[in-house]
Amino acid sequence: MTTVSADARTLRTLADEPWVRFAVRRLGRLLVSVWVLVTASFLMIHLIPGDPVRAALGPTAPLSVVEARRQVMGLNDPVWLQYLHYLRDLLHGRLGESMTTGLPVSKVIGDRLPATLQLAVLAFVVAVALSVPLGLLMAVLTRGGRRRPVELGFTSTSVVLGAIPEFLIAVGLVYLFSVRLGWAPVAGRAGPDSFVLPVLALSVGPAAVLARIVRVETLTVLQADYIRTARAKRLSQARIYLRHALPNALTATITIGGLLLGALVAGTVLVENVFAWPGLGSSIVSSILSKDYSLVQGTVLVYGLGVLLVNLVVDVALAALDPRSTIRES
Amino acid sequence: MRWRGVLRTPIGGSAAALLAAVLLLAILAPILWSDRADAIDTSQILQGASSAHWAGTDSLGRDVFFRILVATRLSVALALGATGIGVATGLLLGTAPLALGRRVGRLVTAAVNIAVAFPGLLLALFFAVIFGVGSTGGLFAIGFAIAPAFARLTQTLVAKIAGQDFISAARIAGVSRPRLLVRHVLPNIGEPLIINATIGAGNALLAFAGLSFLGLGVQPPGYDWGRLLGTGLGSIYVHPEAALYSGVAVIVAGLAFNLFGEAAAKSLGHRTARTKAAPPSPRKDSTVDASSDAVLTVEDLWVTFNGVSPVRGVSFGLRRSEAVGVVGESGSGKSLTALAITRLIELPGHVSAGRLSFLGTSLLDEAPDRLLGTSMSVVFQDPMTSLNPTMRVGGQLAEVARTHQGLPRRGAWERAVDRLSAVKIPFPGRRARQFPHELSGGMRQRAMIGMGLMGTPALIVADEPTTALDVTVQRQVLRLLDSVRADEGLALLLISHDISVIRQVCDRVLVMYAGRIVEDLPADGLSLARHPYTRALLGAVPSLETDRSLPLTVIPGRPADPSALPPGCAFAPRCPLADARCRQDDPPLESTEDGQRVACWHADIAVGVGHA
Amino acid sequence: MRELRFEDVTVRYGTRRHGTVAVDRLNLTIPAGQVVGLVGESGSGKSTLARAAVGLTPVTDGRILLDGEPVLHGWQSRRESLPSAHRARRPMQMVFQDPYSSLDPRMTVGASIAEAMPRGLSRPERRAEVARLLELVELAPERAEVYPAELSGGQRQRVALARALAGQPEVIIADEITSALDVSIQGTVLNLVRDLQRRMRLTMLFISHNLAVVRYVSDHIAVMHHGRLVESAPADEVLTNPQDPYTRELLEAAGQGPYQTRRSR
């Protein structure tokens, strides 16, 4: 008797801890988002006007084949039953079969996912490695209105670079380095050479945007009262920038970086098509065009899950870095 | 009206011109050139650039250059259409919490938050599957893909407005919810929304180009820039101009929208105009004698920002164990004086003085960091923002000792804890390990004072140290400052707008107005103040002894604006004693027999101006 | 002029376990035509009480009564079932602390004031009334066409006062109305408030953290601490014979009592 109530009491006191409440709330949000994603990708097929199987197989396919396919895919069952089967299959890792090739969708995705991941992760690393030091340097150099021409040059360059979409940069790079100079292969994924142009195309835009944001955030931080206090304590410049300004500037940068990673993931779709990269991006476009809805569904699911995971990592990183955030959330 | 200011900036003007050109092209190009764009010539298939065809020809021999020009209309129209759908949807979703009440609002907010997590392209592909491939499908796909971001933006803007007092006032006045939305909220969020919509139109243009490039957007026989780019890519080895020129068109149009929106955002955010201030008139104030006891000597201190001088020739001195208060309202320059003395003013501010010496060392050229770090301590107004939120309190104190006194980590920490107990913070060891937000306001301010006591200070400069605190906590902090001063024999320079605070702690009071000292008198002689401003100030602020049957002293007009000062005495427009001489000549700060100073032509008239 | 009474009023935010009690079983009467000054520091609950009185915050427990009847707020009094006399007026009005957020920047001063007026006035009538109110707060009637951005903080507070009076209220709640103003302007606004209250015999709840200001304006002083009312007495009594230790602390901090002017030598 006493042990039960003691457990109940420890549970209740645990629930009062702000970080526990934060973890529970964040996981709850993740679960709801995943459920929304799963349901949306399920509904995707059912919201399409007309018969998806007929659309995939074409108008000349015999009726018997179409009917057989429909039966196999369970499309004649009532919608709610289909939904339950869909959820059950998902939990077992079964994503259905491609309507055009008949291969299991999970295999197709499994084959192509690593290529996309490599591209996205490399591009992110390059973008961050370029932009964060550049943004910091620019902030330190141009604070208080110093060096106006440098500020103007940096801002205009980064605005222009950030405004050019990645597929245009990709086309431009292909033209310059492959067609004209022949330094890098035009398409395909074979050897480290072939990574250079796609990674560059994916990372230049985000790097420019991120550098600008890092600069603006650092400048804001440098105006803060606690930096004035640090200067009043006559600490060295290095200590003021690295120990006082940087940790506070990072918090804002992490949020934006998280958003950019999400957008990078989507940018792979475009860049992969330019370079005929054998990843998920090129397959999703061809599967939309060929109306291979099972494959589209699976790919959308995978992309969506990737984005949600990235957001989770960003939130956890923020909570760990900023001691006030968990309290603020509650 | 204010949009004209946008056009005057270089970026705004050129972006606007570019945008106008793009829009003009969108309207006129198909009318002028669609026959040339559609003219099939099978003898000229896939040619490179030439004088006849500036961008070459495509697989049917059509002139690519004119196709690019004619495609402007479809590309721009689709972009604007998608933006319209996105903004309208976003506006509806974003104002839902206000219009439909709390419960529905929370549901909508949650839905938007989930949708916002997904990048636009992903949403666009999702909707493209549902709405089908093609222009209409793409229109809705991109429109609904950008809607969540606009919904989030609208929500943020609405929340900011809804928290303002005029909304509360309207609710109290009985204004209904829909009328509140239309009459009060929408006009106030209109401008930022339009600016973001302009930038959004640029992004929609690029997104649509991407969709068409992939083959999911505009389908043949229609063509937009994205489609031209996509077909051009196939022949990029042979005949790159098609792809490149289409790309350039997309970039230029996208930039036109984006830059115009950003230029508008920048210039509409800045309301202050750079006015040309009148040249400062020099005034010869009496100099301060520097005794051997002097901790701080200031002579003719000027602080200038972009041609405006909020501090105009301040001179005073501070001796050991002396507590001097500086009182003034907004625009008086008191805070900037403190910042100038502590050498914390950075560009674009400029400090100059005839003399500025601290413990015998001049502070004018080289800032002697070690001296200032150990012997001068500064306490700022808001202890919440003045302490680094991501660093433990103990560490913030300890770094002073480690930097200037060479103490090792452990020794510095121990000194920090010792100082925290000296400022009467209970459980100092525990508090030192906490972060600033875990301490109360009064405790944070004590910690700031403790930080200043890490070295061996000879001077404490406190800029409005109690303004952000409750009145009972104020008293404790002032008492602390006073006892610290008595124990360590420090000099104290206390800046405040509240004369009762200064009266409690200081020996002497400097009254500042419009960047100058107008009176220098002992704290217990305030009732005998000579300057009309000082007397009026004392009469305007009620104390517990104020006669309730009489009205408070009224000082007509507003506090002086440093960028628009009249010639002569700055207080003349508001002064009951002002005459022609006051309006022409600025009275210098002159010493009287009893060591006080006052800057007024009529200082000897002991008229009852107000009551103290 | 009517009497405002708080009867056992409790305002709680959040849930029972993780919430805060901002106002705790408060009983206070503001006699008709008189000024009660409410003093308290941050977190005392005085602003919450003010918002509850005008209906911006829901009351968790207890009642707020105007002449013995529960208060009807602006939008409630527009219900068709009520007699038209009730519908016309807004019984409670409030003047806020921040002069820069209390006026809609996109509406002229005249429009802001007119919005608070009872329905059913014609345009010329409204305009005349706006002019009358502006003169009452010592502003030129031509200011009705001006936007708030062109006015100073003190002028905006006077417009806010005019707007409060436009609704022909029974009770005015003034929430820290001079705290955000420059010291030299506070005097003008305080004089005006006192003058108007005496002339129109308004019932007023005057809230401030500054005891000296409250004393200057009020007939009766009430002290709040952590959501509770700790002292309530006529102004002179509170100052000469404070009962509660917290009141004594406030008095000392305002410069009265043993820790007078000061300084150790």
The enclosing domain of A304 has a CATH number of 1.10.3720.10
Residues A79 and A120 grouped into a single domain = no
Residues A126 and A223 grouped into a single domain = yes
Instruction: Count Cβ atoms below 10 Å from residue B524 Cβ, excluding itself.
Output: 15
Q: Do C189 and C21 form a contact (C-beta atoms < 8 A)?
A: no
How many domains would you assign to chain A?
2
Instruction: State the pLDDT confidence band at B428, using cuts at 50, 70 and 90.
Output: very high
Domain-located, residue A98: no
Q: Under an 8 A CB cutoff, do B435 and A324 touch?
A: yes
Average pLDDT of every residue of chain A? 82
Q: Under an 8 A CB cutoff, do B544 and C112 touch?
A: no
What are the residues whose beta carbons fall under 8 Å from the beta carbon of B507, sequence distance 6 or more? Answer: B322, B323, B324, B522, B523, C263
Q: Do B176 and B141 form a contact (C-beta atoms < 8 A)?
A: no
CA B51, B56, B62, B67 torsion-angle sign? negative
Instruction: State the pLDDT confidence band at A325, using cuts at 50, 70 and 90.
Output: low
For residue B340, pLDDT beyond 80: yes
Q: Under an 8 A CB cutoff, do A230 and B388 touch?
A: yes
Residues A122 and A204 grouped into a single domain = yes
Instruction: State the pLDDT confidence band at C82, using cuts at 50, 70 and 90.
Output: very low
Domain-located, residue A96: no
Tell me the average pLDDT across B499-511: 89
Residue B373: predicted pLDDT:
85
How far is the C-alpha of B540 from the C-alpha of C188, rounded, in Å? 8
Residue C219: predicted pLDDT:
92
For residue C88, pLDDT beyond 60: no
Q: Which of B109, B116, B122 to mutate to test the interface with A (most CBs of A within 10 A)?
A: B122
Residues A183 and A283 grouped into a single domain = yes
Residues A168 and A87 grouped into a single domain = no
Instruction: State the pLDDT confidence band at B325, using cuts at 50, 70 and 90.
Output: very high
Start-to-end CA span in chain C (Å): 54
Percent of chain A with pLDDT over 70: 92
Residues A84 and A123 grouped into a single domain = no
Chain A contact for B75, CB < 8 A? no
Q: Under an 8 A CB cutoff, do C259 and B171 touch?
A: no
For residue C93, pLDDT beyond 70: yes
For residue B362, pLDDT beyond 80: yes
Residue B430: predicted pLDDT:
92
Tell me the average pLDDT across B36-53: 77
Measure in Å the smallest separation between the Cα of A234 and chain B Cα atoms: 5
For residue B151, pLDDT beyond 50: yes
Which of 244-263 (A) contact B at CB < 8 A? 244, 247-248, 262-263
**Interface confidence (ipTM) of the complex:** 0.86
CA atoms lying within 13 Å on the CB side of residue B542: 25
Task: Tell me which chain C residue has its CA closest to the CA of residue B190.
Answer: C106
Quote the pTM value. 0.82
Q: What is the pLDDT of residues B432-473, one digit of tens each?
A: 999 998 898 889 999 999 998 998 899 999 999 988 888 888
Average pLDDT of every residue of chain C? 85
User: Subunits that touch chain C (at least 3 Cβ pairs < 8 angstroms)?
Assistant: B
Q: Which residue has the higher pLDDT, B555 or B288?
A: B555
Q: Under an 8 A CB cutoff, do B330 and C259 touch?
A: no
Q: Under an 8 A CB cutoff, do B472 and C41 touch?
A: yes
Measure in Å the smallest separation between the Cα of B388 and chain C Cα atoms: 23
How far is the C-alpha of C181 from the C-alpha of B255, rounded, in Å? 45
Residues A142 and A208 grouped into a single domain = yes
How far is the C-alpha of B513 from the C-alpha of B566, rounded, in Å? 13
Residue B509: predicted pLDDT:
94
Among A33-37, C164-168, C169-173, C249-253, name the one with the lowest average pLDDT: C249-253
Residue C192: predicted pLDDT:
92
What is the full DSSP assignment across B200-223?
HHHHHHHHHHHHHHHTSSS-TT--
Instruction: State the pLDDT confidence band at C146, using cuts at 50, 70 and 90.
Output: very high
Residues A64 and A137 grouped into a single domain = no
Residues A139 and A40 grouped into a single domain = no
For residue B191, pLDDT beyond 70: yes
Q: Range of A123's domain?
A: 113-329
Residues A313 and A203 grouped into a single domain = yes
Domain-located, residue A102: no
Residues A127 and A275 grouped into a single domain = yes
Measure in Å the smallest separation between the Cα of B253 and chain C Cα atoms: 33
Domain-located, residue A105: no
Given A91, A122, A148, the domain boundary residue is: A91
Domain-located, residue A209: yes
Residues A75 and A197 grouped into a single domain = no
Instruction: Count Cβ atoms below 10 Å from residue B6 Cβ, excluding itself.
Output: 20
Instruction: Count Cβ atoms below 10 Å from residue C77 Cβ, excluding itself.
Output: 17
For residue B237, pLDDT beyond 90: no
Given A29, A60, A91, the domain boundary residue is: A91
How far is the C-alpha of B549 from the C-alpha of B257, rounded, in Å? 65
Instruction: State the pLDDT confidence band at C108, using cuts at 50, 70 and 90.
Output: very high
Q: Under an 8 A CB cutoff, do B372 and A234 touch?
A: yes
Domain-located, residue A104: no
Domain-located, residue A64: yes
Domain-located, residue A108: no
Given A56, A91, A126, the domain boundary residue is: A91
Q: What is the pLDDT of residues B116-149, one digit of tens each?
A: 888 888 888 888 888 888 888 889 989 998 999 8
